[in-house]
Amino acid sequence: MASAAKEILLIDAVLWSEAFSPSDPLRSAPSWFDPHVSSPGRTWMRSVSAEADLSSEPGPQVRGVILSGSPRDAWSTDPVNTALCQLIDRCHQRRIPLLGVCYGHQVLGRALGAKVAPHPQGWELGNVPIQLTPAGRKSLLFDSFPETFDALQSHRDAVLELPPGCQLLATGSHTRIQSFSCDDLLFGVQFHPETRPDILRYLWGPRLERWRGNIGFDLDHRIATFQEAPQSALILNRFVHQIAQ
């Protein structure tokens, strides 16, 4: 690791059941993010579990924080949620940029005072068009993005109202708040810029029997037709190289 490389901290909030073998290479949230974050001589990514003691994070060398997705409920009375809200507050006070992804986006919304809850229309899954707002088109997070782009989604909860003092950066037909920012420092995206179709299929494999027939669309067809969303993956690049200075 080059001494000049800046450190990006990933808070890994994923919970794994016994249905996922520890030997499977896809069973690793850091491996999903690292190709988009680490750059030899420029950046390196350090990963910490959301269940670890986060009281000393972010450390003095951290230039940016990413909070991952998770099957956890961001709205529940969970000590992990409490600790993450405190971490977000420390990032805000210390002016350390943070990007929340899916669950991380929802925890960020909660920390900033928004209502977070199960979406009234249920699951949003698969490739979804994302529409930038005027504020989003000006944001460094979406620098050089087209006004509408494709992103992969997998969530049942949502930020249902914009946190006070925040800007809406992107929206969608199912979930209105697809991205928001606070002070051009804290950013949330409801979709998954780090993921690929094979990762989502892997994550949904053990859940198919539970949800097949109990969801408002053809689940097997939706999963079979996942497509790559390379434009949305560039969000991680924008966060690391243009925001986390």
Q: Which are the catalytic amino acids?
A: 102, 192, 194
CA distance 28 to 31: 5
Rounded to whole angstroms, how far apart are CA atoms 236 and 228? 15
Q: How far apart are CA 114 and CA 108, in angstroms?
A: 9
